[in-house]
Homo-oligomer: A and B are copies of this chain.
């Protein structure tokens, strides 16, 4: 099996590269590719990330489909901007490659949700690809991912929120009309490696800020995946003064009173067989540190005395379960390997 990564120079791409290079099933190696632009002269990933210095080289080659064929690549990871994924995936599929795309290009089926990204109306070619794309959250979609040509790897915030909400929502235990609130907080690596006024150390340190209220791009995939109406979810992201990690605090009303034992049972039942989700017994709650540098999604909860109002807390490492780790987990599912392979 040979895989390739386009976009290894971003935070998620780097993390993905590290995981793939030591994945026991990828003994034939991993091709690292960069877009062949004159302005991008990095020849080895260790030039950008001196932490990689060592016995192993990380040569970056210019991307071309010919190079992929020649090298015998069968699985292509895209850790690229949305427009690049949008451009490359149709040809990749037509050439028989399987693709795991970490961008938002193919996550959304519904036109109105694609509007969160400002995507143009789809032409018929890309509509065909959209139809094939499987949302890559193994805990919800394991069987379909196994046979997928194109896996749309979920967004980081979306992962933390969907995994916390799916068990109760799918069991129809949530009062959807009341509405759900997800107050989510993320480390700065979620904003990407591009230096901006917002990611400057002095802007972030000793600070906390909310942003994208009612308009964050991950909203669409949460609504679609959980089958929620637009007015049934408020999702507010915040920028934390830490490098990585997401914590979502989620507020909902149960449709019928439940006990804490029943709530916990619902979660444990839903995630039986899903080794990358850990359920915490109430009142213990997960913290960002617990899942950092792991592929776990940690979920805990507190139930009010009225047995209706429920607070969920969900934590992930945004670069692992929220990006590169989940991509590797998807690969494991696609090829029938153990879901934990290469992720411990």
A residues neighboring B (CB under 8 Å)? 11, 22, 50-51, 53-55, 178-179, 181, 183, 185, 188-189, 193, 195-197, 199-211, 213-214, 231, 234, 236, 238, 240-245, 247, 249, 251, 253, 275, 278, 280, 283-294, 296, 298, 302, 304-306, 309, 311, 313, 344
Contact = CB atoms under 8 A, between A and B. Distances in A.
B249 A183 contact: yes
Name A's interface SS: loop
A53 B278 CA distance: 8
A293 B294 CA distance: 13
Given A200-B201, A311-B213, A207 B242 contact: yes
Contacts of A292: 51, 206
Nearest to A294: B51
22 contacts: A50-B290, A51-B289, A51-B292, A54-B278, A183-B183, A183-B249, A185-B238, A195-B200, A200-B200, A201-B204, A202-B243, A206-B242, A206-B245, A206-B288, A206-B292, A207-B287, A209-B247, A210-B311, A234-B309, A234-B311, A236-B311, A238-B247
A289 B205 CA distance: 9
Contacts of A195: 195-197, 199-200
With a 10 A CB-CB cut-off, give which of A53, A247, A278 has the most chain B CB atoms. A53
Nearest to A311: B213
